[in-house]
Structure 1
Amino acid sequence: MASRSVFRSLWRASKLHPLPTRAPRCFSNSTRLAESPTQPSNHEKTTHFGFETVPEAEKESRVAGVFSNVAASYDTMNDFMSLGIHRLWKDHFVRSLNPGSSSTVDSPGWKMLDIAGGTGDIAFRLLDHATDINNSPSSTIIISDINPSMLAEGKKRSLATSYANSPRLSFLVANAEDLNTIESNSVDLYTVAFGIRNFTNKEKALREAYRVLKPGGVFACLEFSGVTNSLFDAVYKRWSFSAIPLIGQLVAGDRASYQYLVESIEKFPKQEEFRDMIKDAGFMVPGKGWEDLTGGIAAIHKGIKPVEKP
């Protein structure tokens, strides 16, 4: 999926600014916590917020501040950050899942859950595919996000679809690490696209995914990953750390939130490590466990919940 034109664009953008040796911190008032981080005590569990080490209890609120800031411009910024390629990735992701494909008279549709689904970008694609390709008008989806501002964007955008105010589409404010309102063994497909890297406890979220899925159900994740070519990786990192925060400043008026997003990509486990995390949660992993997109800039990971023996 990578192309010479993409590589040339990345190379030109990479020359704009040198790589930072330390991430700048210039958050707006809504993310003021980033300017005076709490120092974790010796006995307090910590995690990363970008390149910073912060108490686990603090990360959720700081991530919430970032996504409240970028909610309205999120998809526009994704176009700038990925040169529009994220749309191709998402289309391919949905096609690879083929939602609604096994619908029968006894099971007329899939029950899907899109975690960190915010703006509805993946959920609307899943419903469109189930309806238009697999003739499964009874397939439903819950868009879940921890951030009400992102869900508000999704609700607003749903008004332009045929799913608005339909029983096929619902919204849920919830933490992916504790989906207590969703029954165990009730979901056919669990998706998360460009969201899991922001979770405080990824292992706990994976265990929750396993719990809510039916036996035979599919966990599917689209996330930024590790570039497989060293030269391309060097150019990609220069683009990420130099151009993307600048674009965030110029287009969205928010450099720091996009600086965090770039750092969160760098800190996310690479392909093999994340595959092993999925296996450790109990899933069976098909093949090698992932599919690289655009040279590994992004990857699709899948896991299948084993069918329990009678």
Structure 2
Amino acid sequence: MSETVSFGYADVPIEEKTGKVHAIFRNVASRYDLMNDAMSGGMHRLWKDRFVRRVKPRPGESILDMAGGTGDIAFRMAKAGANVTVADINGAMLEVGQQRALKRGLDGLIWAEENAETLSFADRQFDAYTIAFGIRNVTRVQQALEEAHRVLKRGGRFFCLEFSTTLWPGFGEIYDAYSHKLVPQIGKYVAGDEESYRYLIESIRRFPDMATFRGMIERAGFVRCSVEPLLGGLVAIHSGWKI
């Protein structure tokens, strides 16, 4: 029997998930940032600002921003003078990011269509690896973490911003009700796509909790791993170092 992985609340053959996720992000690419605002009340912008402050991008260093198609994280890091490569498995998302960069007059970014599980980059190439709200959509998460470790230089740092499970009493239940009932409807009326946003919410529920994901990062070879919960863990910033 074929190995299966989660796709929202369903389990699908492992060889099918990448294509299914690719189709979803192709469908939502043009409205992705608008929907992020609608779903989070604009809070995703604050989370991303905090995330980049934790990364501390520096002038001249080389950073790989994985699953960064629309450029939200890359634009923030480029302002600090870092040399950013924006990588995404989905060409439609990259096109949106390139159009946004053009409007902002940002021409120093490198754009690359890449699978997080099988990166084409050489060993020890980057000073930092970032991934924001993308790791849960990867088919083989552990393999992607190992690839992140491989392409980082010694002393390189790994940062991941991702949804998790809030530990605040009562808040989790409120958010579950909102996300499962209202977010797909917002997707239907704002982006004309209810099912894609239903998947995105379900994928959050199937993602490992903070402690489990931290263990996965450590197994990939990272040290000094830590996690910073936001909103009690609804969102979390994970980090680790390669030595």
TM-score for both structures, normalised by structure 2: 0.98
- 1:177-205, Cα deviation, whole Å (9 max, x unpaired): 0002x110110010000000000000000
**Corresponding residue for 2:172?**
233
Match of 2:158 among 211, 219, 241: 219
- Distance in 1 (CA, whole Å) between partners of 2:115 and 2:55 is 24
Q: Secondary structure at the match of 1:192?
A: strand
Once superposed, what is the RMSD of the aligned Cα atoms?
Answer: 0.9
Answering whether residue 64 of structure 2 is matched by residue 113 of structure 1, we say yes
- Distance in 1 (CA, whole Å) between partners of 2:54 and 2:112 is 25
Q: Secondary structure at the match of 2:171?
A: helix
- Distance in 2 (CA, whole Å) between partners of 1:193 and 1:151 is 15
Q: Secondary structure at the match of 1:189?
A: strand
- Distance in 2 (CA, whole Å) between partners of 1:285 and 1:241 is 35
- Distance in 2 (CA, whole Å) between partners of 1:88 and 1:282 is 30
Q: How does 1:203-282 map to 2 (within 5 A)?
A: 203-282=142-221
**Corresponding residue for 2:238?**
301
- Distance in 1 (CA, whole Å) between partners of 2:11 and 2:119 is 26
- 1:119-164, Cα deviation, whole Å (9 max, x unpaired): 0000000111x23xxxxxxx31110000000000001001022322
Larger Rg: 1
**Corresponding residue for 1:6?**
none
**Corresponding residue for 2:8?**
50
- Distance in 1 (CA, whole Å) between partners of 2:114 and 2:12 is 22
Q: Secondary structure at the match of 1:301?
A: strand
Answering whether residue 8 of structure 2 is matched by residue 65 of structure 1, we say no
Q: Secondary structure at the match of 2:228?
A: strand
- 1:273-304, Cα deviation, whole Å (9 max, x unpaired): 00000000000034xx1001122110000010
Aligned length: 243
Q: Secondary structure at the match of 1:228?
A: coil
Q: Secondary structure at the match of 2:217?
A: helix
**Corresponding residue for 2:113?**
173
Q: How does 1:4-15 map to 2 (within 5 A)?
A: none
Match of 1:192 among 131, 155, 165: 131
Amino acid at match of 1:93: F
Q: How does 1:85-104 map to 2 (within 5 A)?
A: 85-100=43-58
- Distance in 2 (CA, whole Å) between partners of 1:225 and 1:173 is 27
* Greater strand proportion: 2
TM-score for both structures, normalised by structure 1: 0.77
- Distance in 1 (CA, whole Å) between partners of 2:199 and 2:89 is 18
- Distance in 2 (CA, whole Å) between partners of 1:81 and 1:256 is 15
- Structure 1 consecutive aligned stretches of length 4 or more whose deviation exceeds 3 Å: none
Amino acid at match of 1:263: E
Answering whether residue 224 of structure 2 is matched by residue 285 of structure 1, we say yes
Q: Secondary structure at the match of 1:58?
A: helix
Deviation for aligned residue 1:54 = 0.4
- Distance in 2 (CA, whole Å) between partners of 1:240 and 1:174 is 30
Gaps of 5+ in 1: 1-42, 104-108, 132-138
